[in-house]
Structure 1
């Protein structure tokens, strides 16, 4: 979660979901987080930095590597089509090696 550098003001009503439980800081909007990330990673001027959307694959990849089914990944990401979820699931080389080790003679892991 990307959070601001301050707590919400006394007159500001903020959902508990939008406040970090550890610091009490308010969550940044998607637009604010996108602008800050671009500003601090731009190499050739505005609009050339990293994109928040690039980070979308991480949670789905971790859940998939831990054995979550395709249906659960679709529910989590709110995708309607399996091919859209597959775009964000990028297993690590270690996860692929572990899966491949299941094919070893005798079913033993390396």
Structure 2
């Protein structure tokens, strides 16, 4: 969901089941500054959500594996299972741990404890970079990322050398005459 929506991890982790509109592949989030905004996802997330939600009809979307400790604020406890909303810190730990070998392709599984994996923020960054490399317009990148300005978007949408070469090649007048 983080990659497909290019949303901020803390916004996605605050989603509740009742905030989802699976038929439209979107969800209502509370963005930076408290505004209500929308995130959109693709088929991969749409296929996994029913398995994540199960029969639940309300409460936090992403849950820990155990009951919420005493004193957990009620909005962060699933009323149907009694489990707590997963924290950013724990989600980051799980993701980092499970991407260690992906992030270090030449490493062997024996070295896994000494490796660093990817961060949740990298998913947002990668999604926006891939969109930019694919030719997504700046207005659409701004809308998708929900950045207020192009300047704040610049650090994410940085097409690589190959993407720039692929963009320039078909616009070469000499290459067009040859075809």
| Interval of TM-score (by shorter of Structure 1 and Structure 2) | 0.5 to 0.7
Matched residue count: 98
CA distance in 2, matches of 1:69, 1:84: 15
Which is bigger in relative contact order (C-alpha 8 A, separation at least 6)?
A: 2
Residue 72 (structure 1) aligned with residue 160 (structure 2): no
Match of 2:150 in 1: 82
Unpaired runs of 5+ in structure 1?
A: 3-12
The structure where helix makes up a greater share of residues is 2
TM value normalised by structure 1: 0.61
Query: Runs of at least 4 residues of structure 1 off by over 4 A?
Result: 42-45
**Which 5+ residue runs of structure 2 have no aligned equivalent?**
3-15, 23-44, 53-60, 63-85, 101-111
TM normalised by structure 2 equals: 0.42
Q: Report which of the two has the higher share of strand.
A: 2
- The match for 1:38 is 96
Cα distance 1:89–1:30, how it changes in 2: closer, same or farther (>3 A)? farther
